[in-house]
Structure 1
């Protein structure tokens, strides 16, 4: 989440816990498939999705209770908003669009986890996905991407889950093939 993002008011954390018979035990990390199943089931909950207040400019969000101790979020995206290039460090994750359509641009390359400030990307590493309502994906550690609501008129809503809970988010800028590490955010920056 970015500092320009506005948390959604009056929505309780844990609003959509995973069913007990489907959640991994606390000793077992949820798999990519379990995270993806959770975000898909949660995105299909029309009442929960409709309960998220949508702001006209900044993104809104509410934290949810994900499976097996994962961190989960319901996020509202006004038209023309996005995350910028970032990764989720050592967390694996999944997200699904619940309403509207999101676009994901990602890199099909694993970046070094530390010790660099600027990298030149090789040709052919860019990936582009359109994710209309009901579509999502899972991803591994150090997955670098940006998520956008490219609509000029419609809000989008999505559900995200990460395990382990996000230790940090690295933010990047990109000019052509050059990726530059700009900022490292800690959980207190977005919670």
Structure 2
């Protein structure tokens, strides 16, 4: 007897719904010059949600989400995302295009997504992120030409 697959979460809808609840995330907004600020908004059994703030020039390293799928909504300012394509061997290749995600923009991605997100504008930015399952690990990468080389693995609660 085949066991039915559990229903997939609509992470995009969850992210949009949370982003529309400014009273939930606005009290968590903080800008810190040393690094991006982040605060967990929701820790549910099947997903988690985070608020991230970005001063001009702040951004992530190239990273994956340890097998979690996700979605994020820019709720203030503009973010820039670059992403990489994974070949059959799992080696990420940087794609030349970038996405500009202004307030109200939604970005969804699967469990094998590798990207880098930055605030390249002159104004601070705020975004709401949803992951399923909850983040437990991330791998960071460094560029080597148009390829990415894994540099470290981080575990939730230990390295971040």
Give the equivalent residue in structure 2 for 1:44. 20
SS in 1 for 2:75: strand
Q: Is the 8 A contact 2:92 2:114 kept in 1?
A: no
* CA separation of 1:110 and 1:135: change in aligned 2, threshold 3 A: farther
TM-score of the pair, normalised by structure 1: 0.72
Q: CA deviation at 1:67?
A: 5.7
Q: Is the 8 A contact 2:77 2:124 kept in 1?
A: yes
TM-score of the pair, normalised by structure 2: 0.84
Gaps of 5+ in 2: none
Task: Give the Cα–Cα distance (whole angstroms) in 1 for the partners of residues 31 and 88 of structure 2.
Answer: 34
Stretches (4+) displaced over 4 A: 27-30, 110-113
Task: Give the Cα–Cα distance (whole angstroms) in 2 for the partners of residues 74 and 120 of structure 1.
Answer: 27
Q: CA deviation at 1:91?
A: 0.7
Structure 1 residues 1-191: aligned runs within 5 Å: 28=6, 30-31=8-9, 34-51=10-27, 52-65=29-42, 69-110=46-87, 112=89, 119=91, 121=93, 125-151=95-121, 153-188=122-157, 189-190=159-160
Give the equivalent residue in structure 2 for 1:3. none
Gaps of 5+ in 1: 1-26, 114-118
Q: CA deviation at 1:83?
A: 0.5
How many residues of Structure 1 are paired with residues of Structure 2 in the alignment?
154
What value does the CA root-mean-square deviation take over the aligned residues?
2.3
Q: Is the 8 A contact 1:110 1:143 kept in 2?
A: no
SS in 1 for 2:86: coil
- 1:70-120 Cα deviation digits (max 9, x unpaired): 02100111110100100012111111101000011001335646xxxxx58
Q: CA deviation at 1:154?
A: 1.3
Task: Give the Cα–Cα distance (whole angstroms) in 2 for the partners of residues 99 and 133 of structure 1.
Answer: 5
When structure 1 is superposed on structure 2, of 102-111 and 163-172 the one drifting more is: 102-111
Q: CA deviation at 1:41?
A: 1.9
Q: Is the 8 A contact 1:99 1:156 kept in 2?
A: yes
